[in-house]
Amino acid sequence: MTKQKIFSIPNMLSIARLALVPVLITLAYWRLPQAFLAVLALSLLSDAFDGYLARKLNQTSELGAKLDSWGDVLTYGSMILGLYWVWPEVFAKQAWFLLAATLSFMVPVAHALTKFGEYPSYHTLGAKTAAVLMAPAFYALTLMGAELFFQAVIVFHILVACEELAITTILTQPRSNVRSIFSLSDASQISEKSH
C-alpha cells in the first residue's frame, strides 16, 4: 500500500476520529457535558464525511474500511462512558437498552472473528442508517430526555446486527462494504479489497 493511499483524506478523517476518543473519555470522566457534546459532534461529522469522500475521491481501501469501523466502535464506547459518567441517571434508566446495544455490536464481531479471524467491516446500508440515527438519538436523549427515539434506534441496531450475523454466516471469505444481505451472490463471496 502506497504512502499516498495510507494518508488519504478519508483515512486522515478516520484517524482524527480515533484521536478524539481519548479526548471524549477525558471530558466524560471530568463530567464536562457541553465540551463532551461539542467534541462528539465533531467526531460524528468526521464519520459522516470520511466514507463519502472516500467514494467521491476514489480513495477507498481495506485500511480505510477498518479505520472507519474502529472509529465507530470506540466512539460508541465513548458515548456509553459519557452516559455513565456525565448523565448517570440517564444511564441507569437506559441500562437494558445499552446492554442490548453493546451485545448487538459484540455478537456479530465475535462471530466474524471466529469464522474469519478478522474484524468485520461490512458498512451495510442498515449500519450506515443506524449510525446516522444514533447521533440525533443520543443528543435528544441527553438534552431533552427523548427516550423512545433512542430506544427505537437501539432496536434498529439490533436488527442491523442480525443482518451482519447472517452476512458472516453466508460469506465464505471476509469482505468489506457489503451493501446488504440481499446484495450477496455466489460471485460476490470472493474477497473484495475496497472501502
40 in Cβ contact with 94 (< 8 Å): no
Tell me the residue range of the domain where 173 lies: 87-182
Q: Please count the structural domains in the chain.
A: 2
* pLDDT score recorded for residue 4: 53
User: Letter for the amino acid at 128?
Assistant: K
The residue from 60, 78, 96 where one domain ends is 78
Whether residue 145 lies inside any domain: the answer is yes
Q: Based on the fold, state whether residues 45 and 2 are members of the same structural domain.
A: yes
Q: Based on the fold, state whether residues 93 and 178 are members of the same structural domain.
A: yes
Nearest in space to 37 (alpha carbons), one of 110, 138, 113: 138
Q: Based on the fold, state whether residues 14 and 59 are members of the same structural domain.
A: yes
Q: How far is CA 146 from CA 36, 99, 114, 174, in A?
A: 19, 18, 37, 38
Q: Based on the fold, state whether residues 72 and 91 are members of the same structural domain.
A: no
Q: Based on the fold, state whether residues 61 and 131 are members of the same structural domain.
A: no
Q: What is the pTM of this model?
A: 0.86
Tens-digit pLDDT string for the chain (195 aa): 455 567 888 889 999 999 999 999 999 999 999 999 999 999 999 888 877 777 788 777 788 888 988 999 999 999 999 999 999 999 999 999 999 999 999 999 999 999 999 999 898 999 999 999 999 999 999 999 999 999 999 999 999 999 999 999 999 999 988 999 999 874 444 444 444
Q: How many angstroms separate the CA atoms of 8 and 81, rounded?
A: 30
The residue from 20, 45, 78 where one domain ends is 78
Q: Based on the fold, state whether residues 106 and 178 are members of the same structural domain.
A: yes
